[in-house]
Each structure stands twice: as C-alpha cells, then as structure tokens.
Amino acid sequence: MKHLKVHVGMRTIKTAIVVMAVLLVYHFIDRPAAVPALAAVFALREDWSNTIQFAKIRLVSNSVGGFFSLLYYLIREFSHHNTWMPIIIIPIFVVCTIVILNAINCSLGVIGGLAALLLISLTIPMDATIDYVFLRILDTFVGVLFAIAINRFGIPEDETN
C-alpha cells in the first residue's frame, strides 16, 4: 500500500486563519458569513504581492457580479417574484458577467464574479429588501479585505517562503 504524503503548507494555514477571522467577526455582528468567507478564500494568494494583484481583480469582478445581482433583485421585485424569472434572467446575467469581465481584460475574475452573482442572487430571501443585496455586495469586499489583512499582517513574509 502506498503511503499518503500530506503537506500542510503556509497557504493552507493562512486560508484557515482567514476563514476563522471572518467567522469570528461575523459571529459577533450576527450576520451570515458564507459570502465574505468565500470571497476571502478566492482572494487569498501565496504572498502579499499576488494577493494585492488578485484582490484588485476580485474587487472588479465582485463589482460586476454584484451589479448583476442587484439588477436581478430589481427585476425579481418588478416581476412580483415570478417563478420563471430566475431560470431566464440568471443565465443571461452569467453571460453578461463573463462578457464584461473578458472585455475589460479581467478574465481571471470570471469565477469570482460569477460566484458573487450566484451566491447573492440565489440566496435573496423572498421578503428581503434592497439593503440585503447591498450588504451581500459589501460582504464580498469585506472578504477581500480580510484576505489582504491576513496576508499582510498575519504571517511574516519570510515565514511563507
């Protein structure tokens, strides 16, 4: 039988720390942590410079995905929560998100932009107000800021190399 080699590297540790930090803060402010935790995991990279570079991409992609989730909410409200609406509108917004991110040379942000769009759009409660959507969009930015903070201040650069 082959032996399984397990390596727990510093990026793995930093990922766990950033998720723990998000969960801790969101526990105390009594808000759901799924969106910021995922945004933090997406943004965290192996070092400070790569995290900053990818955080910029994430901020742009979150903005595009967040815009379309806001537009989805408005259409959903205007259509009086029609059951057919998400089946048609969300795939159209997926295409729009991809096309826009590719057009602005942000193809590395497509997955993150779609994650923001889908996580926000598909988890909007029926009785939610527009504030809910804005808070989820804000949560994606908060997650990116957590990743930046953990990579900058959490573990010294020489420890990660």
Work out the number of other CB atoms within 10 angstroms of the CB of residue 150.
24
Sketch the domain layout of the chain as residue ranges: 10-160
**Amino acid 155: pLDDT:** 65
pTM here is: 0.83
**Amino acid 3: pLDDT:** 77
**pLDDT at 161 > cutoff 60:** no
Write out the two tokens for 27: 């526990």
For residues 87-116, give the mean pLDDT. Answer: 96
**Amino acid 156: pLDDT:** 60
**Amino acid 67: pLDDT:** 97
Q: Please report the DSSP string for 38-91 in residue order.
A: HHHHHH--SSHHHHHHHHHHHHHHHHHHHHHHHHHHHHHHHTTS-SSHHHHHHH
**Amino acid 50: pLDDT:** 85
For residues 20-38, give the mean pLDDT. Answer: 96
The CB-side HSE value for 115 (13 A sphere, CA atoms) comes to 24
